[in-house]
A and B are shown apart, each in its own frame.
Chain A
């Protein structure tokens, strides 16, 4: 008979640290850590009893902790679907959106929380992003009544469908912000034609390619570091990245959006 309680208590320090990383060093983190313990103990340690021994128990409990912390956040704050441009930028933007617009933390607190969670980004950069996000989402943090409980979620996204017009509007907004923020051309606007061309863009990426792009351009990891996380050598990762970028460029050239990019880059 495995003493799950003892094994869980042995991981208490990690659970506590994970809660502090997720919610900052406050009473909310303490509450979240206790909620994790309750979640593990629920139904006579049901989630722990599912452990078959393939992975190490410590890793298994860490995964459970991460998931239970997210469950706690959702039951506490509900869920707001982030705008497409926030999802596309990913990384700190997603985390800042959750911290500011959902958990309603103050900017300084949100910056600290994101700084703990994203190990490779400067605090100044996070702070700039926070103010940029608040400037673009004026009603961020106000209860808008469409936060949805966890049960209505599907893979982290809300079930509700967007109409075609809404989808197009979102894409236009995403492109506008993407160009403005990444290329630093606040005063320039992407043309209607450019938006239409983008909507004709069709790229099918291999899961590993997609992961590599996400790690490098959303989470701002270096190519070698991203490759390491995916179990590749630095040469494999760089080679893969070169191939992906060549493919994307070809696709852009095919639909003519490369000229839009060039226009944006011109001083």
Chain B
């Protein structure tokens, strides 16, 4: 302990003596400051012995050049230290903070948007009624000519009616949304099936407005679920949910109403318990209902 104190004492004494010597040193005439290149050479250590002596002689007496030399010489080996002051009220910082807040608000708004596009869009978008179809004097045969290319429905050339455009747009949307949902829930249907929608009885309802189309799809899903005896709660909940949404829509026509009545009956039969027995039992009833409907046809 006392040895340590002695060393510290000695160091301090040496420092005091050295600084006093530096202060007492009589300055001669200070030579003119080094040129930029001389200083660069001294920093790099590439100059000759004579140039070095000249450089040291100047640096020893010129505080300003000494400080520059020292900072250039020592700075290179040391990266910027951490703990730099951040001025929060600077314009640059404020802009950054503002941008950050804007991004945060955008994300929050996006997260709060409803992510199931089908029901919302169906409710919002105007659907072509049969009356409009009559006014436009477009036969179902013309509508059948609608082509599907690359999962998008494209209208045939030369048939640029308003109704057709709407149908094409809605079909495009439907094709996309159905595709998305089917990717996550069930195996995708063949393209042909998506184009030519099937009624409860299996009769094709080509290009009729979207409700029967969706209804047929929904029934088809139920049928598939029953055949595969699916027991996932998610699957059946989704069936019940989409079924209820479909029946909440206003009726489109008498034909559809009739189909809906059947579908409502099926909806009642959809299993609420998801064990194998319950699903099998309820599915038998559903398939019987569907078979009966087919026989009637």
Question: Which residues of chain B in 13-72 are interfacial with respect to chain A, using CB atoms and an 8 Å cutoff?
Answer: 13-26, 30, 33, 35-37, 39-41, 43-46, 52-53, 56-57, 59-68, 70-72
Q: Determine whether B115 belongs to the interface, using a CB cutoff of 8 Å to chain A.
A: no
User: Within the complex, what minimum Cβ distance (angstroms) separates B78 from chain A?
Assistant: 4
Best-buried of A24, A211, A261 by chain B (most CB within 10 Å): A211
> What separation, in Å, do the CA atoms of A62 and B44 have in the docked complex?
11
User: Within the complex, what minimum Cβ distance (angstroms) separates A214 from chain B?
Assistant: 7
User: Within the complex, what minimum Cβ distance (angstroms) separates A62 from chain B?
Assistant: 6
Inter-chain contact B63/A178, CB cutoff 8 Å: no
Q: Determine whether A41 belongs to the interface, using a CB cutoff of 8 Å to chain B.
A: no
Q: Name the A residues within 8 Å of B131 (CB-CB).
A: none
- Which of B18, B37, B56 contacts A213, CB < 8 Å? B18
Inter-chain contact B40/A207, CB cutoff 8 Å: no
User: Within the complex, what minimum Cβ distance (angstroms) separates B55 from chain A?
Assistant: 9
Minimum CB distance partner of B77 in chain A:
A119
Question: Which residues of chain A in 169-206 are interfacial with respect to chain B, using CB atoms and an 8 Å cutoff?
Answer: 171, 174-175, 178-179, 182-184, 198, 201-205
Inter-chain contact A66/B72, CB cutoff 8 Å: yes
Q: Name the A residues within 8 Å of B24 (CB-CB).
A: 198, 201-203
Inter-chain contact B13/A207, CB cutoff 8 Å: no
User: Within the complex, what minimum Cβ distance (angstroms) separates B169 from chain A?
Assistant: 53
Q: Name the B residues within 8 Å of A210 (CB-CB).
A: 22, 25, 60-61
With known contacts A178-B20, A203-B25, A204-B25, A59–B80 Cβ distance under 8 A: no
Q: Name the A residues within 8 Å of B71 (CB-CB).
A: 21, 66, 117
Inter-chain contact A64/B36, CB cutoff 8 Å: yes
Q: Name the A residues within 8 Å of B25 (CB-CB).
A: 203-205, 210
Inter-chain contact A50/B90, CB cutoff 8 Å: no
Inter-chain contact B17/A261, CB cutoff 8 Å: yes
> What separation, in Å, do the CA atoms of A145 and B18 have in the docked complex?
34
User: Within the complex, what minimum Cβ distance (angstroms) separates A222 from chain B?
Assistant: 12
Best-buried of A27, A62, A248 by chain B (most CB within 10 Å): A62
Inter-chain contact B37/A116, CB cutoff 8 Å: no
- Which of A62, A115, A231, A244 contacts B81, CB < 8 Å? A115
Q: Determine whether A8 belongs to the interface, using a CB cutoff of 8 Å to chain B.
A: no
> What separation, in Å, do the CA atoms of A94 and B68 have in the docked complex?
13
> What separation, in Å, do the CA atoms of A216 and B15 have in the docked complex?
9
- Which of A50, A214, A231 contacts B36, CB < 8 Å? A50
Inter-chain contact B63/A252, CB cutoff 8 Å: no
Q: Determine whether A103 belongs to the interface, using a CB cutoff of 8 Å to chain B.
A: no
User: Within the complex, what minimum Cβ distance (angstroms) separates B37 from chain A?
Assistant: 6
Q: Name the B residues within 8 Å of A109 (CB-CB).
A: 85
- Which of A17, A55, A117, A203 contacts B40, CB < 8 Å? A55
Inter-chain contact B68/A63, CB cutoff 8 Å: yes
Inter-chain contact A94/B85, CB cutoff 8 Å: no
- Which of B20, B37, B53 contacts A60, CB < 8 Å? B37
With known contacts A55-B41, A60-B36, A116–B22 Cβ distance under 8 A: no
Inter-chain contact B85/A112, CB cutoff 8 Å: yes
Q: Determine whether B126 belongs to the interface, using a CB cutoff of 8 Å to chain A.
A: no
Q: Name the A residues within 8 Å of B22 (CB-CB).
A: 88, 205, 210, 213-214, 217-218
- Which of A112, A184, A231 contacts B52, CB < 8 Å? A231
> What separation, in Å, do the CA atoms of A70 and B21 have in the docked complex?
28
Best-buried of B57, B63, B70 by chain A (most CB within 10 Å): B70
Inter-chain contact B37/A52, CB cutoff 8 Å: yes
Q: Determine whether A87 belongs to the interface, using a CB cutoff of 8 Å to chain B.
A: yes
Question: Can you name 9 A-B pairs with beta carbons within 8 Å?
Answer: A20-B84, A25-B85, A54-B37, A55-B37, A63-B43, A119-B81, A155-B30, A156-B63, A201-B21
Residues on B close to A: CB < 8 A?
9, 12-26, 30, 33, 35-37, 39-41, 43-46, 52-53, 56-57, 59-68, 70-75, 77-78, 80-81, 83-87, 90-92
